[in-house]
Structure 1
Amino acid sequence: MEKRPNRNEYGDFYANYISLVPENGELVAIFREQSQAIFAFLGELSDVQGGYRYAPEKWNIKQIIGHLIDNDRIMSYRLLRIARGDKTPLAGYEENDYVDSGCFDRFTLKQMIDHYKLVRESTLVLLESLPQEAWTRTGTANDSLISVRALICVLIGHVIHHLNVIHERYLNREV
């Protein structure tokens, strides 16, 4: 059951992130491997790189990590509620407001990475604990239908998106 969702399990809002997830493989394994790769990559960056912005109005890398932390928490919360059968519509969030309120620049890059590791580990424990019947349960988040396994793909695809941006715009590397 740990495969990518069918197209009828999520709304258009989520399609781009889900399209970035590898077609083959179990989602929990992909999430676990992605976590290892993220922290190996982020661990190579310096504090100077962590504070770099490629344009004045863009987030720096520490702020991107803060955004990824916030997003993992929000998506995990949505995932838990839907996995438990809760049909209450779940609100969206304004990512720029969250980053502004997070004041992530007061932390070192290492502190941000350590924080992110804890959040990812918590999310992984949640994913590993889900019963099979929960994977296809659906709910409403951000005014869109979404299944539990689609939310897992959003978690994975969202990270892929931001790592691509870091490589292309912050470090000028090909992905």
Structure 2
Amino acid sequence: MTQRPAKEEYGGHFGTYIDLVPDGSIVDILTDDLKATSEFLSDLPLDKAEHRYAPGKWSIKEVIGHIADTERIMSYRLLRIARGDATPLPGFEQDEYMKYVDFDAYSLADLIENFISVRRATLTLVRGLTEEAWARTGTASNTVMSVKALAYVVAGHGMHHLRIVKNKYLA
């Protein structure tokens, strides 16, 4: 799948993430991003892992956990829509999710392993999609979304947060 999703394939704030994804095969982009992200995270200094760049902001560990949680949710949506499930899928509130998990209690290595596991599962899913499945649309977060757009959201969401980590946490 090398064609970017059209604007009609997504709505709301999802374009912010989709616009960050470079042109090319989304499967290759997700594969390359797995390697680049896991290497970047593995090189993080341990003393920075619980750093917050401002009061009330997430720690780097929390950002990593959030990226994996969101990828799980987006991949689940992708699966449901790819399989022809027309049930509207609810949104989720990221801050509510964070209230019920203590990612700072995890080791950095465990959070990286979690991200890698989630991304590998996403890649296994998207590698097996047919052209018809890539084009299917459904409703998620009260927004029409294509399977293709959801794959781009997975990639772009992680890119968005890692850019923030590089620019605000490690600068």
TM-score (norm 1): 0.95
Are 1:156 and 2:158 an aligned pair? no
Match of 2:16 in 1: 16
Counterpart in 2 of 1:63?
Answer: 62
State the 1:31 CA deviation. 0.5
Once the two structures are aligned, what percentage of the paired residues are identical? 47
CA-CA distance at 1:103 after TM superposition: 1.2
Instruction: Check the 8 A contact 1:90/1:141 in 2, yes or no.
Output: yes
> How far 1:100 moved relative to its partner?
2.2
**3-state SS of paired residue (1:5):** coil
Between the two proteins, the alignment pairs up a number of residues equal to 171
Deviations 1:124-145 (A, max 9, x none): 1011111121001000000100
Give the secondary-structure state (helix, strand or coil) at the position aligned to 2:139.
strand
Contact 1:66-1:102 at 8 Å conserved across structures: no
Query: What SS does structure 2 have at the residue aligned with 1:169?
Result: helix
SS of alignment partner, residue 135 of structure 1: helix
Q: 2:35 corresponds to which letter in structure 1?
A: Q
Give 1:112 shift. 0.7
Alignment of 1:1-175 (within 5 A): 1-22=1-22, 24-172=23-171
Segments of structure 1 that go 5 or more residues without pairing to the other structure are none
SS state at 1:145 partner: strand
Q: Residues of 1 paired with 2:2 and 2:76: CA distance?
A: 19
Shift of 1:99: 1.7
Q: CA deviation at 1:106?
A: 1.1
Residue 4 (structure 1) shift: 1.0
8 Å contact 1:46–1:109 — kept in the other structure?
no
Q: Which moved more, 1:54-63 or 1:98-107?
A: 98-107
Structure 2 residue matching 1:161: 3-state secondary structure: helix
Please report the RMSD computed on the Cα atoms of aligned residues, expressed in angstroms: 0.9
Q: CA deviation at 1:13?
A: 2.6
Asked whether the 8 Å contact 1:2–1:149 carries over to 2, the reply is: no
Distance 2:87 2:13 in 1: 19
User: How far apart are 1:67 and its partner, in Å?
Assistant: 0.3
Question: Could you tell me how far apart the structure 2 residues matched to 1:66 and 1:88 are?
Answer: 27
| In 2, Cα distance between equivalents of 1:6 and 1:119 | 26
2-structure distance, mates of 1:91, 1:2: 28
Instruction: Report runs of 4+ in structure 1 exceeding 6 Å deviation.
Output: none
Greater alpha carbon shift after TM alignment, 64-73 vs 12-21: 12-21
